[in-house]
């Protein structure tokens, strides 16, 4: 008895009778039910007439409307159709248009029989995943999360309680947690629920501003105070008078600047660079860091008196691996946000894809999850993210698996998966056509009892077989994200492992996060 998947229906659309016959014979021998159409118009009519094939294989160049036009008509009729285009002319334009308009894949003539069978099986598997995704139900009400912070886990409930306690006061708050956990969102939430919500909110990334410019950025400068100071400049503290300033990555601030921040907190006054006038400011300070400030104080890298001034109230934002039960809600919120901003049309996730997202370790936390959801939504051909749309590292379940199914095949309801320590690095991408950088395929088994030259040779040839034209970029990103994951986000340590400067590492990470 043939497997149930082999009872699926394939529609072959080609004006060449011999192609229809040969493809039908090859795929029919695998147990698939074959339907044919001699033109794009005939294929469209069959779809409109109620035919619901699991896969459509359509020629690009036909008499009448082209395969690309047929693809567009069919996709408008049903976003869940899996369509593979066939062509003897593998131009860049054909490939780009095929993927742009939602083709599952395209194959070259003359056919490689094994390749045809492989693509057909994968496409039909995706079709079945789409059917299971139809049971997906919205998990959150978008309007309930105006602050952008999603989470019903016990760990996040504790965070919300502390926000409620400190919001109405003017107390300084120190927000700690791993990179990518959403510390700025926490700061904005405190501001929005505070008595200063009618005033300005100014965010400053202390790590992104060179040491010789940070004081001018924060406190302003007088005309002529240094080379290039052609006009007077008002600093961020003056700009947010009677409001709230958020000092992100304060652990990267130079000691000299720390001294001046301490004065603002103690005296409520500043001096512009090159100025003599003392200026009173009424500003609430919220600071954030992913560094161990206590250790930095011990090592004389951070002022002890400033640390105690900042640490009046402390909010630790849990990592995503500590609250995996929140992943389904976060994913649903992110999808709704993408649709709202018209960045994607995807509204659903298949059960196995959601299981994989929950199982992954997320060393890059919510920021990494957001990048993966966006990337997967972009490459998805229909209105649902399937397992095939996820990056290799997540789809392969690198290092982690849920203790029990998070989403069953028969239900979209979620259950809590036990947190597991991650063994994988940050997610990379693997699509052929989309704006996010493609990942390095992790197909080399571990451990690898072979020499380094053999590893390099195998890696090079695997990437060339995939026709990758950015080998060094792919390897560089893979190594950087592995080092960041291994060191728990410690950029200084990661840079030391990689043998590059911290500034170079930070520049690369900024490029990745901007994608």
pLDDT greater than 70 at residue 479: yes
Domain stop point among 298, 316, 334: 316
Q: What is the mean pLDDT of residues 80-96?
A: 81
Q: Please, what is the Cα angle at 219 between 218 and 223, to 5 degrees?
A: 125
Q: Where are the alpha helices (DSSP H) in 299-403?
A: 304-310, 327-340, 351-359, 365-379, 392-395
Which domain CATH number covers 161? Answer: 3.40.50.300
pLDDT greater than 70 at residue 441: no
- Span of 6-10, 148-152, 323-327, 397-401 with lowest mean pLDDT: 397-401
Which domain CATH number covers 396? Answer: 1.10.8.60
What local confidence, expressed as pLDDT, does residue 103 receive? 86
307 found inside a domain: yes
Distance between CA 349 and CA 482 in Å, rounded? 27
Same domain, 165 and 263: yes
Distance between CA 381 and CA 346 in Å, rounded? 9
473 found inside a domain: no
349 found inside a domain: yes
Are 140 and 332 in contact by the 8 Å Cβ rule? The answer is yes
Reported as a single tens digit per residue, the pLDDT across 18-74 is: 999 999 999 999 889 999 999 999 999 999 888 989 999 999 989 889 999 999 888
Are 483 and 477 in contact by the 8 Å Cβ rule? The answer is no
Same domain, 296 and 357: no
510 found inside a domain: no
pLDDT greater than 80 at residue 138: yes
Token pair of 513 as six digits: 């996060």
- Span of 253-257, 364-368, 466-470 with lowest mean pLDDT: 466-470
Report the DSSP pairing between strands 283-289 and 279-280. Answer: unpaired
What local confidence, expressed as pLDDT, does residue 504 receive? 82
Same domain, 291 and 371: no
pLDDT greater than 90 at residue 215: yes
Query: How many domains in the chain?
Result: 3
Are 371 and 348 in contact by the 8 Å Cβ rule? The answer is no
3-state helix, strand, coil in the chain (%, to 5): 45, 10, 40
Domain stop point among 431, 463, 483: 431
Distance between CA 483 and CA 462 in Å, rounded? 23
Same domain, 310 and 238: yes
Q: For residue 193, what are the domain limits?
A: 154-316
User: How many other C-beta atoms are found inside a 10 Å radius of the C-beta of residue 241?
Assistant: 15
Same domain, 125 and 208: no
Same domain, 179 and 297: yes
498 found inside a domain: no
Q: What b/e sequence results for 158-170 when a residue is b if at least 16 CB atoms lie within 10 Å of its CB, and e otherwise?
A: ebbebbeebbeee
507 found inside a domain: no
Distance between CA 352 and CA 363 in Å, rounded? 21
Same domain, 381 and 356: yes
CA gyration radius for the chain? 28
Same domain, 331 and 425: yes
Domain stop point among 267, 291, 316: 316
């Amino acid at each position: 008895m043939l497997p149930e998947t082999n009872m699926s229906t394939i529609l072959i659309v080609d004006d060449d009778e011999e192609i229809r016959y040969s493809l039908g014979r090859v795929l029919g021998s695998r147990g698939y039910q074959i339907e044919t159409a001699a033109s794009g118009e005939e294929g469209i009519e069959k779809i409109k007439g109620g035919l619901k094939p699991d896969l459509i294989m359509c020629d690009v160049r036909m008499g009448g409307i082209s395969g690309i036009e047929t693809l567009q008509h069919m996709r408008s009729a049903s976003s869940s159709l899996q369509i593979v285009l066939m062509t003897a002319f593998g131009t860049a334009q054909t490939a780009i248009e095929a993927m742009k308009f939602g083709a599952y894949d395209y194959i070259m003539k003359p056919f490689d029989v094994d390749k045809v069978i492989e693509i057909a099986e994968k496409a039909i598997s995706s079709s079945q995943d789409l059917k299971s995704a139809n049971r997906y139900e919205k998990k959150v009400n978008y309007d309930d999360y105006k602050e952008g912070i999603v989470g019903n886990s016990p760990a996040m409930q504790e965070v919300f309680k502390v926000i409620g306690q400190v919001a109405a006061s003017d107390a300084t708050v120190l927000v700690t947690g791993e990179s990518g956990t959403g510390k700025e969102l926490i700061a904005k939430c405190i501001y929005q629920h505070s008595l200063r919500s009618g005033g300005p909110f100014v965010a400053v990334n202390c790590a992104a501003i060179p040491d010789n410019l940070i004081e001018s950025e924060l406190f302003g400068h007088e005309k002529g105070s240094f080379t290039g100071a052609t006009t007077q400049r008002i600093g961020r503290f003056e700009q947010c008078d009677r409001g709230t300033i958020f000092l992100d990555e304060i652990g990267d601030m130079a000691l000299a600047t720390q001294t001046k921040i301490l004065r603002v907190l103690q005296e409520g006054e500043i001096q512009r660079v090159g100025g003599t006038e003392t200026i009173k400011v009424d500003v609430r300070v919220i600071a954030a860091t992913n560094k161990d400030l206590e250790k930095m104080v011990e090592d004389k890298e951070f002022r002890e008196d400033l640390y105690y001034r900042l640490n009046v109230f402390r909010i630790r934002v849990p990592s995503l691996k500590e609250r995996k039960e929140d992943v389904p809600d976060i994913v649903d919120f992110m999808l709704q946000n993408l649709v709202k901003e018209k960045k994607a049309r995807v509204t659903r996730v298949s059960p196995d894809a959601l299981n994989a997202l929950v199982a992954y370790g997320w060393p890059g936390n919510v920021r990494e999850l957001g990048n993966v959801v966006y990337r997967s939504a972009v490459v998805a051909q229909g209105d649902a993210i399937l397992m095939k749309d996820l990056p290799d590292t997540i789809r392969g379940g690198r290092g982690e698996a849920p203790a029990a199914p998070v989403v069953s095949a028969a239900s979209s309801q979620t259950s809590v998966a036990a947190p597991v320590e991650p063994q994988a690095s940050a997610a990379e991408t693997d699509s052929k056509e989309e704006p996010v950088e493609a990942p390095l395929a992790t197909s080399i088994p571990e451990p690898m009892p072979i020499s380094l030259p053999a590893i390099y040779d195998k890696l090079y040839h695997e990437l060339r077989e995939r026709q990758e034209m950015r080998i060094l970029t792919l390897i560089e990103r893979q190594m950087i994200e592995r080092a960041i994951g291994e060191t728990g986000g410690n950029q200084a340590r990661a840079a030391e492992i990689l043998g590059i400067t911290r500034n170079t590492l930070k520049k690369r990470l900024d490029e990745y996060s901007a994608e």
